[in-house]
């Protein structure tokens, strides 16, 4: 098990250099320049605590879970269970039994689409409707379509905010589910989830929240939010790839049929009939990513030990700095200017295509994302084919905001 215990930082005195020192990759060079990593919305970097925990697991505790009576399997099983308890606790869930380990947010949504939607009573020959929003990631659109549901989007304003009046009306039209992102990966908009849950529940509509972008950047309490399903990915919250969490209210998990069949999800198997394990085991067929769960456990422990308030203020100041600095660049248009916004800055620049901007910034060691960010319908709605996105994390600095601005000046020289 990991020996790392992060010490809480002193409130109000956020020491970004000390935090950066825990992320070895941030001290490396990219294209011969100091790495400036501004793509945390795509995937976060990992602190040593996480890297070491995974290594320690493979060095000392590796065995399959729920299979052996020997000590290694016992240790491995205990690590798996501890990770589940940590994940539940981290998002304010009452019971670890409500946490299902999945590969990531995408698999979590696919699981709910296959398993939950199949239980929704519907009039004959009518496909269920899932209410989504125009700002959803493809992972919160396509899984619903795959199981035959109709996706209806709640409109988004030019600023990137949800139209709550339309939401209220559409919730009254009898959708089977509201599936909404907590924070937009493309625009940074923070959606009013608690309010949406109250509105949806007043119409008897359950709510799934895509929390992939929220869990890394703000304290999340599923009980306070009042949602029915909440999902997030390990790799965006400073943990490893290949592991993620689906949290669901116990009543749903009890009623939902298994998603995949295999080992670990069974109770009794015969050639005639099989009965299933209770949730969450029922949804975890096959040997899972045990080391991934150990890494996620370490990541949540690491993040939980940070001063979340100080980190939040730091990210807000990076957002404000970047917004102000970039808005002053001639020909630059900020995309997504919601009032409640995370440290995600999307933009376009006159005469330069986002991919060329990203390539020229790459030449300066700066990593940004260019493209549609898996939100084609949103880009279509905004009349854009692609944007550049710089997304920030606690380990980013104000110097890096300046490096981005200097890089963009260079792009303007090339394409001016």
Contact residues: other proteins, CB under 8 A: 31-32, 351-356, 359-360, 362-364, 370-372, 376, 385-386, 414-415
| Triad 220, 221, 223: Cα angle to 5° | 155
In DSSP terms, 206 is beta-bridged to none
Length of the chain: 416
Dihedral sign from CA coordinates of 309, 311, 317, 323: negative
- Answer yes or no: are the C-beta atoms of 29 and 365 closer than 8 Å: yes
- In terms of C-beta density within 10 A (0-12 exposed, 13-18 middle, 19 or more buried), how is residue 415 classed? middle
- Answer yes or no: are the C-beta atoms of 360 and 408 closer than 8 Å: no
- Taking residue 18's Cβ as centre, other Cβ atoms within 10 Å add up to 10
- Answer yes or no: are the C-beta atoms of 102 and 109 closer than 8 Å: no
- Answer yes or no: are the C-beta atoms of 378 and 135 closer than 8 Å: yes
Show the tokens assigned to 4. 């790392």
Task: Tell me, yes or no, if 374 is annotated catalytic.
Answer: yes
- Show the beta-strand stretches assigned E in 192-343: 207-210, 229-233, 244-248, 266-269, 274-276, 332-335
- Cα–Cα nearest to 1, from 71, 55, 74: 55
Q: What's the CA gap between 367 and 365, in Å, rounded?
A: 7
Rg of the chain taking only CA atoms, in angstroms: 22
Q: How far is CA 342 from the centre of its chain?
A: 13
- Calculate the CA dihedral of residues 314, 316, 321, 323 and round it to 10 degrees: 150
Q: What's the CA gap between 149 and 186, in Å, rounded?
A: 24
- Calculate the CA dihedral of residues 204, 142, 44, 192 and round it to 10 degrees: -30
136: helix, strand or coil? coil
For the chain, the distance separating the N- and C-terminal CA atoms, rounded to the nearest angstrom, is 54
Q: Which residues are catalytic?
A: 374
């Amino acid at each position: 098990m990991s020996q790392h215990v992060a010490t809480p930082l002193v409130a109000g005195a956020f020491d970004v250099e000390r935090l950066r020192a825990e992320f070895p990759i941030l001290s490396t060079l990219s294209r011969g320049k100091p790495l400036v990593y501004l793509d945390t919305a795509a995937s976060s970097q990992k602190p040593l605590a996480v890297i070491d925990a995974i290594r320690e697991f493979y060095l000392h505790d590796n065995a399959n879970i729920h299979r052996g009576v020997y000590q290694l399997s016992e240790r491995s099983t205990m690590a798996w269970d501890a990770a589940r308890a940590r994940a539940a606790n981290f998002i304010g869930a009452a019971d670890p039994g409500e946490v299902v380990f999945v590969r990531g947010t995408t698999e979590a949504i696919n699981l709910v689409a296959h398993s939950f939607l199949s239980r929704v009573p519907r009039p004959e020959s009518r496909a269920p409707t899932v209410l989504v929003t125009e700002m959803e990631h493809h992972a919160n659109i396509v899984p619903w379509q795959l199981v035959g549901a109709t996706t209806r989007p709640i409109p988004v304003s030019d600023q990137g905010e949800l139209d709550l009046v339309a939401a209220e009306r559409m919730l009254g039209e009898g959708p089977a589910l509201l599936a909404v992102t907590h924070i937009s990966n493309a625009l940074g908009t923070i959606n009013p989830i608690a309010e949406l849950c109250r509105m949806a529940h007043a119409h008897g509509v359950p709510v799934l929240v895509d929390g992939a972008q929220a869990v890394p950047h703000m304290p999340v309490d599923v009980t306070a939010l009042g949602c029915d399903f909440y999902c997030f990915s390990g790799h965006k919250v400073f943990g490893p790839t290949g592991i993620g969490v689906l949290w669901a209210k116990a009543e749903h998990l009890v009623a939902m049929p298994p998603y995949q069949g295999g080992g670990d999800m069974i109770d009794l198997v015969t050639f005639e009939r099989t009965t299933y394990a209770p949730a969450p085991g029922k949804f975890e067929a096959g040997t899972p990513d045990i080391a991934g769960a150990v890494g996620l456990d370490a990541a949540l422990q690491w993040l939980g030990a940070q001063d979340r308030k100080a980190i939040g203020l730091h990210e807000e100041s990076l957002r404000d700095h970047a917004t102000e600095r970039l808005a002053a660049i001639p020909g630059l248009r900020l995309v997504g200017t919601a009032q409640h916004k995370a440290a995600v800055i999307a933009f376009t620049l006159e005469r330069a295509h986002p991919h060329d901007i990203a390539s020229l910034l790459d030449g300066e060691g700066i990593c940004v994302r260019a493209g549609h960010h898996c939100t084609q319908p949103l880009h279509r709605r905004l009349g854009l084919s692609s944007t550049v996105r710089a997304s920030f994390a606690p380990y980013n600095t104000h110097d890096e905001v300046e490096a981005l601005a200097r890089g963009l000046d260079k792009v303007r020289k090339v394409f001016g």
